[in-house]
A and B are shown apart, each in its own frame.
Chain A
Amino acid sequence: AQSVTQLGSHVSVSEGALVLLRCNYSSSVPPYLFWYVQYPNQGLQLLLKYTTGATLVKGINGFEAEFKKSETSFHLTKPSAHMSDAAEYFCAVSVAANDYKLSFGAGTTVTVRA
């Protein structure tokens, strides 16, 4: 069975500063990895995903994440935070194309200070 750990339930950054959200996973097989964002009172929106191929994945809104197999990590970064990045972020893992179930981390809430 797979599991996901997000380090830090809350992250506060200044506008223009680096955003770094940490995600570690455990899986007995090569995983499919996802980051989702949830704005207040809305559903989840896919930011980016890793399936196979290039380990550095670029997503929407300037976010990117790097799959590091040796560290079992999939950390999310954005070089310069914007006020509109304030939201909750979820890391998720699935083990294969024929396993549709997503396992989610507990989430990290990002606040952006002016």
Chain B
Amino acid sequence: NAGVTQTPKFQVLKTGQSMTLQCAQDMNHEYMSWYRQDPGMGLRLIHYSVGAGITDQGEVPNGYNVSRSTTEDFPLRLLSAAPSQTSVYFCASSHQTGAAYGYTFGSGTRLTVV
């Protein structure tokens, strides 16, 4: 099994550009989420989804958009990139009882906005 796959691994954007970070899992997990990691701040939840067609905001949702059309995929869209969105982005997934089961993380996307 591939687990959670994130693409691309690295990306440089100019301010104002848009892009989509891809996340796919092959474990039939109901729950998927996006976190951003910044030095000294741990990981902060951006958006999450508890199943296909259902999404909700996390702690830091501004400037990001998500959709969940299939169980496998959960893309994260940056509508108009800003330097403050320079970060490392992680996608995570789990079974429906996620809190007790634990989460599987992807290897991350390192994004730089110049």
Contacts and interface: CB of A to CB of B under 8 A. Distances in A.
Interface string A38-50: 0000111110010
B25 interface: no
Contacts of A105: 42
B103 interface: yes
A36 B31 CA distance: 18
A99 B33 CA distance: 13
B75 interface: no
B42 A104 contact: yes
A46 B106 CA distance: 12
A103 B103 CA distance: 12
Given A45-B105, A49-B102, A97 B97 contact: yes
| Number of chain B interface residues as a range | 20 to 34
Interface in B86-106: 90, 92, 94, 97-100, 102-103, 105-106
A77 interface: no
B99 A96 contact: yes
15 contacts: A32-B99, A42-B107, A43-B90, A43-B105, A44-B92, A45-B105, A51-B99, A97-B99, A97-B100, A100-B99, A102-B92, A102-B99, A104-B44, A106-B42, A107-B40
Given A9-B40, A32-B100, A97-B100, 13 more contacts: A43-B107, A44-B43, A44-B105, A49-B100, A49-B102, A100-B33, A100-B48, A101-B45, A101-B48, A101-B58, A102-B43, A104-B43, A105-B42
